Amino acid sequence: MNALAIAVDNAPWQRRWRRFRRNRTALSGLYVLVALIVFSLAAAPLEALLGIDANNADLLSRFDGRSATNWLGHDELGRDVLIRLMYGGQVSLGVGIAATLLGAVIGISIGLAAGYFGGNLDALLMRFTDGIIALPLLPLLIVLAAIDLTKLGFSADFARSSAASFYRIVLIIALIDWTRIARLVRASTLSIREREFVLAARVSGAGTVRILLRSVLPNVIAPIIVACSQVLGSVILFEAVLSFLGFGIAPPTPSWGNMLNNAQELVATAPMLAIYPGLLIFITVIAVNFIGDGLQDAFDPRAE
Amino acid sequence: MFFLRRLLGMAIVLLAMSFVVYGLIGLMPGDPIDLMVMSNPGITAADADRLRALYSLDEPLVTRYGHWLIAALQGDFGFSRVYAQPVLDIIGPALWQTTKLVALTLVISSILATALGILSALRPGGKIDTLVSFISFAGISLPSFWLALILILTFAVWLGWLPASGMGRPGEEGFLGNARFLILPVTTLVIANIGGVTRYARSALIETLRMDFIRTARAKGAREPRVVLRHGVPNALSSVITVIGMNFGTLFSGALITETMFAQRGLGKTIYDAILGNDYNLALVALLFATFATLIGNLLADLACAWLDPRISVI
């Protein structure tokens, strides 16, 4: 491809990025999110630097205040609060991104199928999607999270592990967060499939899968990105509340949600333990939502 | 016709939901017979098998679900394992408690959200609009269980103005005394709910104010407040109500959180406690009632829309 072709190819993305950059709240949301990711990833280096072990319970230093090596003090088991917040960020952001991407795969498949094939399949899939949207999702997630993995044939060791609780929560949130993505992909696919280049691909003998992946999918990427950014915030909130209620990430692995597990009983004695993790969830989700709003404006076809 | 199809759709959703949840509950920790054996060491393995046969627990899933469904359709939803009461006796008061919470939240948040939406739609991009938009984003982004914690910390622990949890004792502290217990839960739920509705109210009203009949109203010489309140708001209201209707499921999820945080025996907390306590029949039936209430809420919102906006026909 020569330079001109590449320039033409990238033009819409450059325009979108320019429009996104002009949106001050969206841009600051992006900065905050990047800062939070750096904060979370700095957990292990900082732990090594300060020479402490954040998973090490030390009952003699319960609720001890700040010190040179424990910048935010100790929690109810004498563990370092700051390092656990940083590791918790890795888990919360990790669950959020993984569950959003997995939900996107489900939503894209359902949206493409409904929009491209139309007819009864479309009607059935969209009824199903609307049915899921109408349900009270949190109690349903709790039911899904309470399933005993050993009854599904997993070993008892795996079922109790933190890794299992991570995979499980990603999977069950993905099972319910795909609906918005599916609807947007369907709507875009409906208009794309009538376009000449899809007809051209069909006439030249391309199979259905090839048309869907090579002709339709690249043209619905923009709404997918917008939808994902808007779903991510609610996914992070679902992880937080499930972990808080004891159905998410299993302790001792910290997540911002399960760090608040004991906060309710301790709220009078150690209020800061209740304030830090919730504040981080709030800042993350509001940053993500600002980014999502900015992306929606930047990708709006009416602005092109 | 539309109405009948909606009712049919609701029946299908409830049926599918009951089957899926019934199946999932078979996968939960703790077999009911094992629990009996644990609490009574006198039960032998042979007794356990006899009990299993007595309760039809040795039959395949579909057969057991069939038995459950036939009984349920006749109004027999079975017993709660923990409370040793018919589940309906537990769900009735819980449903009432949740209805109070949700109804109050709906009324307050709809009024507030519509007012905030009007304020920001009057001057899109202005100072008030920016402020309201920030408040809406904050409302959407707040983890509501944490908001509940902060409210407890502020108003119950530090200021001591309001009770931290519980529902009060009926008849003892009077209506107002008991209403105090609802203030913090309703506040939590309103803040969590208001952001989404405000944003829809704002965009619906901005859209409406661009229409031709608004220009006509202005051209006739109607004053701006009358144009907005008499011509704009009623036309934007139907889409606001649609959003409120679509949000019933989310609202119920929020009710589960606030009821748990403030120790109020509503439907959400009943489901949560039932799953924690292996009381699976109660969890199943309570979840179905919650779904049913949500679907009824959606339907009522659609009917309200049709009543407000004659262009939409439902019957």
DSSP class of residue A302 equals G
Contacts of B113 (CB under 8 A, 6+ apart): B194, B197, B198, B201, B240
Q: B86 has which bridge partners?
A: B79
**Partner-chain residue, chosen from A264, A275, A285, that has the shortest CB–CB distance to B141:** A285
What token pair was written down for A192?
């794309």
What percent of chain B is predicted at pLDDT more than 90? Answer: 9
A241 close contact with B: CB closer than 8 A = yes
Q: Residue B172: is its pLDDT beyond 60?
A: no
**Claim to verify: residue B132 and residue B259 sit in the same structural domain:** yes
Q: Which residues of B touch A243 (CB under 8 A)?
A: none
Task: Please list the ranges in chain A whose pLDDT falls under 70.
Answer: 1-9, 51, 57-71, 78, 301-304
Q: Residue B151: is its pLDDT beyond 70?
A: yes
Mutate to test the interface with B, among A23, A128, A140 (most CBs of B within 10 A): A140
CA distance A222 to A60: 54
Top mean-pLDDT range of B58-67, B192-201, B295-304: B192-201
DSSP A7-21: HHHHHHHHHHHHHHH
What token pair was written down for A206?
């391309």
Q: Give Dmax over CA atoms of chain B in angstroms.
A: 89
What pLDDT, on a 0 to 100 scale, did the predictor assign at position A66?
67
Burial (CB count within 10 angstroms: exposed 0-12, middle 13-18, buried 19+), residue A140? buried
A137 close contact with B: CB closer than 8 A = yes
Predicted structure pTM score: 0.87
CA distance B233 to B146: 34
**Claim to verify: residue B56 and residue B93 sit in the same structural domain:** no
**Claim to verify: residue B62 and residue B92 sit in the same structural domain:** no
Contacts of A143 (CB under 8 A, 6+ apart): B21, B24, B25, B275, B283, B287
Q: How far is A88 from chain B (nearest CA, A)?
A: 16
**Claim to verify: residue B155 and residue B294 sit in the same structural domain:** yes
Q: Which residues of A touch B294 (CB under 8 A)?
A: 134-136
Mutate to test the interface with B, among A135, A160, A172 (most CBs of B within 10 A): A135
Question: Tens digits of per-residue pLDDT, B228-245?
Answer: 888 888 888 888 888 888
CA distance A64 to A249: 26
What token pair was written down for A263?
């906060």
Instruction: Write phi, then psi, for B57 (nearest 5 degrees).
Output: -80, -10
CA distance readout (Å), B256 to A92, A140, A221, B56, B267: 22, 11, 36, 33, 7
Answer yes or no: do B27 and A139 touch at CB < 8 A: no
Q: Which residues of A touch B5 (CB under 8 A)?
A: none
Nearest by Cα to A68 from A84, A54, A51 = A51
Domain count, chain B: 2
A127 close contact with B: CB closer than 8 A = yes
**Claim to verify: residue B202 and residue B56 sit in the same structural domain:** no
Q: How far is A25 from chain B (nearest CA, A)?
A: 10
Instruction: Write phi, then psi, for B86 (nearest 5 degrees).
Output: -60, 140
**Claim to verify: residue B63 and residue B94 sit in the same structural domain:** no
**What ipTM does the predicted assembly reach?**
0.85
Q: Which of B73, B104, B127 corresponds to the end of one domain?
A: B73
Contacts of A57 (CB under 8 A, 6+ apart): A77, A78, A79
Position of tokens 């469904």? B69
Crossing angle for the helix pair A271-298 and A24-41, to the nearest 10 degrees: 130
| Confidence label for B277 from pLDDT (cuts 50, 70 and 90) | confident
**Claim to verify: residue B179 and residue B247 sit in the same structural domain:** yes
DSSP A172-224: HHHHHHTHHHHHHHHHHHHHHTTSHHHHHHHHTT--HHHIIIIIIGGGGHHHH
- Average of per-residue pLDDT across B186-202: 90
Is the C-alpha dihedral spanning A116, A118, A124, A126 positive or negative? Answer: positive
What pLDDT, on a 0 to 100 scale, did the predictor assign at position B174?
58
Q: What's B203's domain CATH number?
A: 1.10.3720.10
Is the C-alpha dihedral spanning A15, A21, A25, A29 positive or negative? Answer: positive
**Partner-chain residue, chosen from B13, B27, B257, that has the shortest CB–CB distance to A151:** B27
- Average of per-residue pLDDT across B146-163: 83
Position of tokens 């004659």? B310
**Claim to verify: residue B110 and residue B254 sit in the same structural domain:** yes
Q: A152 or B177: whose pLDDT is higher? A: A152
A123 close contact with B: CB closer than 8 A = no
What pLDDT, on a 0 to 100 scale, did the predictor assign at position A223?
86
Length of chain B, in residues: 315
B positions 210-239 inside 8 Å of A (CB)? none
- Does residue B29 sit in helix, strand or coil? coil
B120 close contact with A: CB closer than 8 A = no
Burial (CB count within 10 angstroms: exposed 0-12, middle 13-18, buried 19+), residue B260? buried
Contacts of B7 (CB under 8 A, 6+ apart): none
Question: What is the set of domains in chain A, with CATH numbers?
Answer: 35-50+70-303 (1.10.3720.10)
- Average of per-residue pLDDT across B102-118: 90
B314 close contact with A: CB closer than 8 A = no
Q: B117 has which bridge partners?
A: none
What pLDDT, on a 0 to 100 scale, did the predictor assign at position B160?
74
**Partner-chain residue, chosen from A136, A146, A260, that has the shortest CB–CB distance to B252:** A136
CA distance A183 to A112: 9
**Claim to verify: residue B68 and residue B132 sit in the same structural domain:** no
Residue B78 domain-assigned (yes or no): no
Q: Give Dmax over CA atoms of chain A in angstroms.
A: 76
Question: Tens digits of per-residue pLDDT, B131-140?
Answer: 998 889 999 9
B95 close contact with A: CB closer than 8 A = no
Answer yes or no: do B137 and A136 touch at CB < 8 A: no
Residue B47 domain-assigned (yes or no): yes
**Claim to verify: residue B57 and residue B186 sit in the same structural domain:** no
Residue B162 domain-assigned (yes or no): yes
**Claim to verify: residue B149 and residue B252 sit in the same structural domain:** yes
CA distance B186 to A224: 35
Q: How far is A74 from chain B (nearest CA, A)?
A: 20
Contacts of A58 (CB under 8 A, 6+ apart): A74, A77, A78, A79
Q: B2 with B314: CB under 8 angstroms? A: yes
Q: Residue B38: is its pLDDT beyond 80?
A: no
A233 close contact with B: CB closer than 8 A = yes
Q: Which of B17, B39, B73 corresponds to the end of one domain?
A: B73
Q: A160 with B36: CB under 8 angstroms? A: no
What pLDDT, on a 0 to 100 scale, did the predictor assign at position A68?
63
Q: A184 with A226: CB under 8 angstroms? A: yes
Answer yes or no: do A241 and B260 touch at CB < 8 A: no
Contacts of A20 (CB under 8 A, 6+ apart): A26, A27, A294, A295, A297, A298
Q: Which of B33, B51, B73 corresponds to the end of one domain?
A: B73
Domain region containing B64? 2-73
What pLDDT, on a 0 to 100 scale, did the predictor assign at position A79?
77
Q: How far is A180 from chain B (nearest CA, A)?
A: 13
Nearest by Cα to A174 from A234, A247, A246 = A234
**Partner-chain residue, chosen from B149, B152, B256, that has the shortest CB–CB distance to A138:** B256
Nearest by Cα to B35 from B271, B284, B278 = B278
Answer yes or no: do A138 and B137 touch at CB < 8 A: no
What token pair was written down for A86?
């940083």
Burial (CB count within 10 angstroms: exposed 0-12, middle 13-18, buried 19+), residue A250? buried
What pLDDT, on a 0 to 100 scale, did the predictor assign at position B59?
75
**Claim to verify: residue B136 and residue B55 sit in the same structural domain:** no
What token pair was written down for B134?
């920030």
What percent of chain B is predicted at pLDDT more than 70? Answer: 93
What pLDDT, on a 0 to 100 scale, did the predictor assign at position B97?
87
Q: B157 with B164: CB under 8 angstroms? A: yes
What pLDDT, on a 0 to 100 scale, did the predictor assign at position A59?
66
